[in-house]
Amino acid sequence: MTSAAPSLTRVMAWLHGWLGVVAGWLLFAVFVTGTLAVYDDEIDAWMQPERPVLQALAHPEQISIDRIAETLRRDLPATVDQWIITLPGERRDFATAAWFTPDGQFQLRQINPISGDWLETRQTAGGDFFFRFHYRLSMPGVFGKALIALVSVVMLAALLAGIVIHKRFFRDMVTFRPRAAERRVWLDGHLLVAVLFLPFHLLITYSGVVMLSDAVMPSGVQAAFADKGTAWRAGWMADLYPQGPLPSRAALGIKAPLVSLDPLLAAARQADGGRVPRLVIIEHPGDQAALVQIHQSWDGQINRDPQIWVHDGVSGQVLARRDQQRGLHQAYTVLAGLHRMAFADPWLRAMMALGGLAGAAMIASGLILFARKSSRSQPDGSRSARFVARGNVGALAGLGVAVLAFLWSNRLLPVDLPARPWAEVGVFAAVWLLAVVHGCVMPSVGRAWRQQGAVFVLLALGLPVVDWISRPIGDLAVLPLVAVGFGAVVLAVITGWRPSRLAVRTVQKGGPVPLSLVLKRRMFILWGAGGGLILAGCLWGWSAAQGTLLWSLLLSFIALVWAVAVGLWRSRMPRQ
Amino acid sequence: MTAPVERVAVRGLAAVVGGWLATSGYAQGLAVSAVALGAAPSSAAMVVTLTACLVYGLALLWAFAARSVWRAWGGVLAVYGVGLLLAHAVPVVSGWLEGSL
């Protein structure tokens, strides 16, 4: 019945292409938003420009939970029976207070950790939106997580298939031929970012799937805790710690004053070498059965497994202290820590962001390559190739436009708009949808790419202007500068990529190069190098970013003069 | 790109649905067996959590690499069946052995 079986390499090559296409658009969005989420706190800070700089960790002894508790006691309804207070960390210098309303709604507000007053800032989806989008598409429930877990498994399989079909790992790592045929350039680029960053791609994909696996494949855990019935998750959590579960009490309904919390905080700080604890949870505040949990800081720890002290909320007596998890669970928390990189210093986080961008570039180049390869193998243009080519425009370029529109909306929407975070997310979704439709209905795919690229450049280069106009205090921030860097690189590609290659070929054939081509080639180098310099400066740090901005402006000016002068000189030379 | 294997849709179903079943069977079989043989439940759950996605990924590759559709489905269902068998048999055998010793 079966004919001669195709070779494994051929099947894997075919599968690699199709797995990439099936999951590629979503994976590209996951990688881009995941990369943005590496800087979620910084994006949050940019999206709330009215938030004052507190530098709370510079004076940890001034941080007061008693003042925060006083504000919560004054302003929250008495029915709220749990306060969750997050204290400042290395990347954020304010505190937050969170609670559940009686109807189960989660509420979170920012608070000054020194004075205990509410911070009056605009409502925004913030950098947290990118974080939530990248692992559950910002959807409630399990559907978004399940979809991301499935495409992540597909990515894992595509990576394994890719490893099977490649035999020249070390050559691919250093091969890039920008002057070769265009399809070869895309393939070289795809292989370069795939092979060079392969350990990162494998780690981030594997750890991502593992982090989502208990939500979508709970049967194994449920089976291990079958004796706990529907409470299997609680049983699992309790079994992770040899000391058993943390103490818990029901409210007694007898009023009693909450113990002074600042001495407990000071003791916890002293026990942890001066580091400010990160989380304080107060259960049943004002009740005789009140409990206070103090969680050690997890800044700088790969394994987010903080020591926890539980105090009686009235007497302040220590009831329990929880230390390390079971050994095997630490493998999981270390893996999750490596995925989040919350422990990392700025350099390591920059490397993480670079890896994320490489992943996005690998997926994008693979998708573009698929469309070109399919249309080439079938000269009349196969339906799948046309579909992928059109979808690529909205899914790849459109996402960049939508992200920038999201940032613009943060500054342009009225500050007192009701449900403001949802309005920002709505702008993101609407612009992305519009871009997808635009990519599908435009007669020419190339023109759709250029138009969306042009919109991206306009939004990116305009972001510092919007920032400057709408920012009440302070000077230019890093985020708009990053946008300018990307905008310059995209501008280089859409204006100079093809003319630049054409100019090189004309020179190789010994023909004269028209002035317009020379100028476009100069502009390609100019914008590409300038954008790259600005992005490198942003990775280095804020002061370096300012420096490289000035340098790239100066170099741009010199290069422009040079481009025009050389172009004019060449155009006056007699043609041979 | 022309497909080098036949009946792609059926194989796709084997990859997604069959792969999920195989992973589920593997997870249950491993977790229950490990607990029955004396491992801490949280350790068994963690081993399953760390390895289940690899089983799913391999099942996905298997569904397309198998020589025929029958083998593709047969492979994933076999893993599912063996997993369920272990999940039910190992506690019984383990209990029986403990009782007899």
Which pLDDT score, from 0 to 100, does residue A424 have?
Answer: 96
Share of chain A above pLDDT 70, in %: 85
Residue B63: band (very low, low, confident or very high) from pLDDT cuts 50, 70, 90:
very high
Output A280 or A140, whichever has higher pLDDT: A280
Q: What is the mean pLDDT of residues A211-235?
A: 81
Nearest chain A residue to B31, by CA: A224
Residue B67 per-residue DSSP state: S
CB-based contact (8 Å) between A226 and chain B?
A: yes
Domain spans in chain B, listed from the N-terminal domain onward: 15-95
C-beta atoms surrounding A170 within 10 Å: 8
If DSSP codes are grouped into helix, strand and coil, which group holds residue A55?
coil
Smallest Cα distance from B31 to chain A, Å: 5
SS3 state at A273: coil
With residue A83 as reference, give the H or E element that holds it.
strand A82-86
A558-574: average pLDDT: 62
In sequence order, the 6+-apart residues with CB closer than 8 A to the CB of A562 are A522
Q: Looking at beta carbons, which residues of chain A come within 8 Å of B30?
A: 220
pLDDT > 70? residue A564: no
Measured between beta carbons, the chain B residues lying within 8 angstroms of A206 are 53-54
Look at residue A376 and tell me whether its pLDDT is greater than 70: no
Return phi, psi of residue A83, to 5°. -110, 130
Contacts of A373 in chain B (CB under 8 A): 1
Chain A residues touching B57 at Cβ < 8 A: 153, 156-157, 160
Report the residue from B4, B26, B56 with minimal CB separation from A11: B4
Q: Which of A296, A308, A292 is nearest to A272 (CA)?
A: A296
Residue A237 has pLDDT above 80, yes or no: no
Q: Quick check: A329 and B42 CB within 8 A?
A: yes
For A15, list phi and psi in degrees, rounded to 5.
-65, -40
Top mean pLDDT of A213-217, A219-223, B16-20 is at: B16-20
Say if the ipTM goes beyond 0.95. no
Q: Collect all residues from B whose CB is shorter than 8 A from any CB in A.
A: 1-6, 16, 19-20, 23-24, 26-28, 30-32, 34-35, 40-50, 52-54, 56-58, 60-61, 64-65, 67-68, 87
Q: Which residues contact A32 (CB under 8 A, 6 or more apart)?
A: A356, A360, A399, A400, A403
Indicate if the pLDDT at residue A114 is higher than 50. yes
- According to the per-residue pLDDT averaged within each range, which of A210-219, A461-470, A502-511 is highest? A461-470
Whether the predicted pLDDT of A74 surpasses 80:
yes
* A573 pLDDT higher than 60: no
Residue ranges of A 312-331 with Cβ closer than 8 A to chain B: 326, 328-329, 331
CB-based contact, A4 to chain B, within 8 Å: no
CB of A343 less than 8 A from some CB of B: no
How is the beta sheet containing A106-111 ordered, strand by strand? A106-111, A95-100, A82-86, A279-283, A291-295, A308-312, A318-322
Does the pLDDT of residue A570 top 70, yes or no? Answer: no
Question: What values do phi and psi take at A378, rounded to 5?
Answer: -125, 100
**CA–CA min distance A96, chain B (Å):** 32
Handedness of CA A334, A337, A339, A343 (dihedral sign): negative
Q: Where are the domains of chain A?
A: 1-50+124-237+330-347+359-376, 54-121+241-324
**Residue A403 pLDDT > 80, yes or no?**
yes
pLDDT category at A51 given cuts 50, 70, 90 is confident
pTM: 0.86
Q: Is A233 on the interface with B (CB under 8 A)?
A: no
The answer for residues whose C-beta is within 8 angstroms of residue A378's C-beta and 6 or more apart is A385
Percent of chain B with pLDDT over 70: 97
Q: How confident is the model at residue A381 (pLDDT cuts 50, 70, 90)?
A: low
Task: Provide the chain A residues 521-550 that lie in CB contact (below 8 A) with chain B.
Answer: none
pLDDT at A500: 63
Nearest CA-CA distance, residue A207 and chain B, Å: 9
**Residues in A touching B5 (Cβ below 8 Å):** 6, 11, 14
Q: Cα(A532)–Cα(A237) distance, rounded to whole angstroms? A: 47
Hey, which bits of A313-372 come out as E strands?
318-322
Residue A440, pLDDT > 60, answer: yes
More confident residue, A386 or A100: A100
Task: Answer yes or no: are the C-beta atoms of A360 and A134 closer than 8 Å.
Answer: no
Mean pLDDT, to the nearest integer, of A75-90? 91
Inter-chain touch B41–A239, beta carbons under 8 Å: yes
Residues B47-72: what's their mean pLDDT? 91
CB contact under 8 A, B52 and A217: yes
CA distance A315 to chain B (A): 34
Q: What pLDDT sits at residue A2?
A: 47
Residues in A touching B13 (Cβ below 8 Å): none
Residue of A nearest to B34 (CA): A224
pLDDT of residue A305: 78
Cβ pair A224:B31 closer than 8 A: yes
Distance from the Cα of B30 to chain A's closest Cα (Å) equals: 8
A219 vs B contacts (CB less than 8 Å) = 24, 27-28
- Name the more confident of A13 and A528: A13
Contact yes or no for A330/A154 (Cβ under 8 A): no
Task: Report whether pLDDT(A557) > 80.
Answer: no
| Model confidence at B4: pLDDT above 80 | no
pLDDT digits (tens, 9 = 90+) for A165-177: 887 777 776 677 7
Question: What b-and-e string marks burial along A497-536, b requiring 16 or more CB atoms within 10 Å of the CB?
Answer: bebbbebeeeeeeeeebbbebbbbbbbbebbbbbbbbbbe
Residue of A10, A217, A386 to mutate, interface with B, max B Cβ within 10 Å: A217
Mean pLDDT for the stretch of residues A285-311: 88
Looking at residue A506, what is its pLDDT?
67
Query: What pLDDT is stored for residue A180 in this prediction?
Result: 74
pLDDT at A576 over 50: no
- Mean pLDDT computed over every residue of chain A: 84
E strand or H helix that includes residue A154: helix A143-165
Q: Do B53 and A6 touch (CB under 8 A)?
A: no
Residue B40 is predicted with a pLDDT of 86
For residues B46-57, average pLDDT = 91
Q: What pLDDT does A1 receive? A: 43
Predicted local confidence at residue A348, as pLDDT: 84
